[in-house]
A and B are shown apart, each in its own frame.
Chain A
């Protein structure tokens, strides 16, 4: 049942997001495009570049997919509907996301070509800044719940969503989530205009399908994380619990995908600079703020 619910979320939700992604890159609404694109890719050759490091090249797309699936595995859709209930679920998310950086670096290094290599290292350099901004806001939401169990974090928001209680943490986490999914304007590792596809530039055919699917799963997973940590997860009136989770997740994911269309890509050093100089102080301030709120008010 749980597995089925997650499969449904990934297939139907993921499909909807793929349509938004298509719009975000081309400006056209074409509901059939993701399906046709994936099947069309299956019809094409899966080329291997000439001097590739085959192990890295072949392993990167599945690893990226695994990272997305693993990070999603601890995030519940409804009370009790969660693939793995971990006592340290909130930290598990961060641990799973590390493999995104590993996968992209492998995808960049594997084909042994200049564009992907630059792209892979770009992401590695930036990921360190992003990862801090994922884990520090999570600390603050865990403080409020006095628990690292994701379900507890959701129920702790029954009186007030974390997005309203700790808007700083929410903003920082949302931006870091977008950056980890390398969505525009954080798309330096794929950068069609600068690096002709970057880390995915040398992938064709079925491997490219996996690469694109993996990114969608990652977007869904992080949107679900935003939902459970900040938007009250399954909490909501009238509709059944899973419906709220799905609706909120898709709304967050859709927003994450859409915003990049209206912004130029960030210069490679901006995310780093902002992450370290602005993001981390803000995340610390957020932790302090939540601590003060918890001391003086009983929320």
Chain B
């Protein structure tokens, strides 16, 4: 705990404070609560309280391995946490450039409980330390340097702001755009130009930041960006606006008012470089990161919004923030393929395991029995139901609907943990009642109706619930004989908005549980005795096989080139890249909250997107 504790002597009143600190564990989860829930972790039950910003957290909990790109962003999150802070890594492996974890354990409930206990001990014993050091990381430093080296920009009259350019956005917006390090912490460190880390002895404020500040203000003025002083003196602003219109620039007026420099506070001059809103009003746009760790959106989703007031004026969603060379990692021994493929998406591991087994079946190769004791169909369908509920829980959080967030989380954990068909049958009626209550929630339908409309004809290659909510009868399960025998018919809605996507997912949860029950009955009737396990065959000759499954997010397909007992080449197609391309369409020109809900309604898994 070198970068975790506060600087000071651990004595006196502080010991009393640390007792409370260790009893109240506020935790910010990386990459996100969705991944932690999918791993079966129940943070509340373990005694932690999940908070929405690292500013309010004592613990940073890393669940599972973070791809290198996300680890860089994680550094900024860590730097934003007030001390004392504890870093916990659950099954995370190497977390550099984050500091060495204070506690490391396996990513299961037991590991979580153990590590929270350890964290409590750390907080009791080491909340203050004389050896505390400021946290430094390369990910924070070079951007600051680069910023200092950049010459100051002095726009001429013809200067047209290019909001596509990050640099302009930063300089031109002066004070407003101060780098994710100061935002809620959901950024990637891409603008961590000032050290977010306060000097332990300096009262939480430090000099580089100050000097930057001065520089920024200067920039802002020259750029005609909005200044705080200006807004404080609104009377003068109004006067200038009236004058400015007549006097072409209002410079004389500006000069005359209160001995200010020439042109100071002229509304025309101040706003002439600013982009126009859709209503023609010149508005300064604010760039705000909403990822990759924004708690209400899928973890790992790299999303930046330019806000024009509270309207989204520009959307940038970089693909592959979580990229880590998936296809290359699939090459290797055939026997290990299901395990390797299952690691692709922490939100739907069983589905990808099934995909690997299905491909190997097609190749006539041996494959291990799918994960569940219940058989593959139950495993895949339970995972679909759990994944939808996990999504629903995050939607509840985004909508500020606390009951939905906790109840959906509870049911998804129950489904993931169910061991046999009887348990599933028991859950089916309880979950059904829950879903019915969600459908009847006051204001929920009104909140979602019409958001993120995506007519089916314009969807392109998108599949899954998003496509089915737009009236497309697309489902990889339709081609599967087992599902045909069960009389499977996909849930299709035609409204094509966020409400339809919610309705489709709610119905699919019930449908999946129904499929598990029907399948179990069919099996017990003796229809499918032979399907329990795969019999290893002799070495196959080199072959090219393909398989597809319907994952909770849509059609996932795998093409394998198998040579002997080795996978020599693999091509994986996942539903999320297509869905990610829809982000701009659903978010642009929407009110901020609507844009976030619309993006969330796509249920993107950034883990499936390999850049």
Interface residues of A (CB under 8 A from B): 24-28, 32-33, 35-37, 39-40, 42-51, 53, 109, 111-115, 117-118, 121-122, 184-185, 187-188, 191-197, 201-205, 208, 260-269
Residues of A within 8 A of B183 (CB): 113-115, 196
Docked CA distance A266–B593 (Å): 10
Closest Cβ of chain A to B326, distance in Å, is 30
Q: A112-B175, A193-B296, A260-B400 are in contact. Are A44 and B52 (CB under 8 A)?
A: no
Minimum distance in angstroms from A62 CB to a CB of chain B: 18
**Docked CA distance A41–B344 (Å):** 39
Are B442 and A263 neighbours in the complex by a CB distance under 8 Å?
yes
Residues of B within 8 A of A53 (CB): 228
B186–chain A nearest beta-carbon distance, Å: 6
A32 CA to B19 CA in the complex, in Å?
13
Contact (A33, B24) CB under 8 Å given A112-B178, A203-B55: yes
What CA separation (Å) do A39 and B22 show in the bound complex? Answer: 10
Which 10 residue pairs spanning A and B have beta carbons closest together? A196-B184, A265-B400, A39-B20, A114-B288, A43-B17, A192-B52, A45-B82, A193-B398, A264-B399, A193-B296
Q: A26-B49, A50-B209, A121-B310 are in contact. List 14 more A-B contacts (CB 8 A).
A: A40-B21, A48-B198, A49-B182, A50-B196, A51-B182, A51-B209, A184-B400, A193-B295, A193-B400, A196-B52, A197-B55, A263-B441, A266-B443, A268-B593
Chain B nearest CB, measured from A215 CB (Å): 15
Nearest CB on A from B107, distance (A): 23
Tell me which of A25, A28, A49, A262 has the highest count of chain B C-beta atoms within 10 A of its own C-beta. A49
Query: Which B residues touch A201, using CB under 8 A?
Result: 52-53, 55-56, 184
A127 CB to closest chain B CB (Å) equals 15
Interface of B is mostly: mixed
User: Which residues 185-216 of B have a CB within 8 angstroms of A?
Assistant: 185-186, 194, 196, 198, 203-205, 209, 212-213, 216
In the assembled complex, the Cα of A49 lies from the Cα of B177 at a distance in Å of 12
- Which residue of chain B lies nearest to A43 when distances are taken between CB atoms in the complex? B17
Of B24, B177, B295, B443, which one neighbours A40 at CB under 8 angstroms?
B24
Q: How far is the CA of A137 from the CA of B512 in the complex (A)?
A: 52
Q: Bound complex: CA of A44 vs CA of B54, how far in Å? A: 12
Q: Is the CB of B14 within 8 A of A111?
A: no
**Once the chains are docked, how many angstroms separate the CA of A132 from the CA of B307?**
29
* A57 nearest CB across to chain B (Å): 11
CB-CB under 8 A from B309, the residues of chain A are: 121
B83 is an interface residue with CB less than 8 A from chain A: yes
Given A193-B398, A193-B399, A264-B443, are A49 and B178 neighbors across the interface (CB < 8 Å)? yes
List residues of chain A with CB within 8 A of the CB of B18.
43
Beta-carbon contact of A47 and B204 below 8 Å? yes
Given A40-B24, A261-B403, A267-B593, CB of A50 within 8 Å of CB of B181? yes
Q: Given the known A-B contacts A43-B14, A43-B21, A264-B441, are A194 and B296 also in contact in the complex, defined by CB atoms under 8 Å? A: yes
Contacts of A24 in B (CB 8 A): 402
Are the C-beta atoms of B83 and A44 separated by less than 8 Å? yes
Contact of A27 with B294 at beta-carbon distance under 8 Å, contacts A113-B178, A201-B53 already known: no
The residue of chain A having its C-beta at the shortest distance from the C-beta of B289 within the complex is: A114
* B343 is an interface residue with CB less than 8 A from chain A: no
Interchain CB contact (< 8 A) of A193 among B23, B52, B80, B175: B52
Q: Which residues of B contact A36 (CB under 8 A)?
A: 20, 23-24
Which chain A positions have C-beta within 8 A of B602?
none
Chain A residues contacting B399 (CB-CB under 8 Å) are 193, 264-265
- A204's contact among B82, B181, B441, by CB below 8 Å, is which? B82
A166 to B147, CA, bound (A): 62
In the complex, B286 has a CB within 8 A of chain A: yes
Interchain nearest-CB distance for A207 vs B (Å): 10
In the assembly, what is the distance between CA of A109 and CA of B178, in Å? 13
Residues of B near A47 (CB, < 8 A) are 55, 80, 82, 198, 204
Cβ-defined contact, B53 with A196, below 8 A = yes
Measured CA separation A32–B83 after assembly (Å): 23
Known: A112-B176, A196-B184. A50 touches B310 (CB 8 A): no
| Bound-complex Cα distance A24 to B307 (A) | 31
B447 interface neighbour in A44, A111, A117, A264, Cβ under 8 Å: A264
A205-B21 Cα distance, complex, nearest whole Å = 11
Contacts of B231 in A (CB 8 A): 109
**A187 to B205 Cα, complex, angstroms:** 30
- The answer for the CA separation of A188 and B596 in the assembled complex, in Å, is 14
Provide the bound-state CA to CA distance between A185 and B294, in Å.
Answer: 21
Tell me if A45 and B307 are in contact (CB < 8 A).
Answer: no
Residue on A nearest B22 in the bound complex, by CB: A40
Nearest A residue (CB) for B400: A265
Instruction: Give me 29 A-to-B residue pairs in the complex whose CB atoms sit less than 8 angstroms apart, sorted by A's number.
Output: A28-B44, A36-B20, A45-B6, A45-B82, A50-B194, A51-B212, A114-B287, A114-B288, A115-B288, A187-B400, A192-B296, A193-B52, A193-B398, A193-B399, A194-B398, A197-B56, A201-B52, A201-B55, A202-B184, A203-B55, A204-B55, A204-B82, A261-B402, A264-B399, A264-B444, A265-B399, A265-B400, A267-B591, A268-B310
Q: Which A residues are in CB contact (< 8 Å) with B213? A: 50-51
Whether A50 touches B397, Cβ cut-off 8 Å, given contacts A40-B23, A114-B307, A195-B184, is no
Q: Is there an interface contact between A118 and B592, defined as CB atoms closer than 8 Å?
A: yes
Interface residues of B in 122-140 (CB under 8 A from A): 127
Residues B406 and A26 in contact, CB atoms below 8 Å apart: yes
User: Hey, which chain A residues are within 8 Å of B307, CB to CB?
Assistant: 114, 118
B179 contacts chain A at the CB level, 8 A cutoff: yes
Whether B20 pairs with A43 at a CB distance below 8 angstroms is: yes
Q: Which residues of B contact A118 (CB under 8 A)?
A: 286, 288, 307, 310, 592
Complex interface: chain A residues within 8 A of B286 (CB): 114, 117-118
Residues of A within 8 A of B198 (CB): 45, 47-48
Q: Does B31 contact A (CB under 8 A)?
A: no
B58 within 8 A of A: yes
Q: A50-B209, A265-B399, A268-B591 are in contact. Are A44 and B295 (CB under 8 A)?
A: no
Q: How near does chain A come to B596, taking the closest CB pair, in angstroms?
A: 6
Q: Do B17 and A39 touch across chains, with their CB atoms under 8 A apart?
A: yes
A27 to B204, CA, bound (A): 34
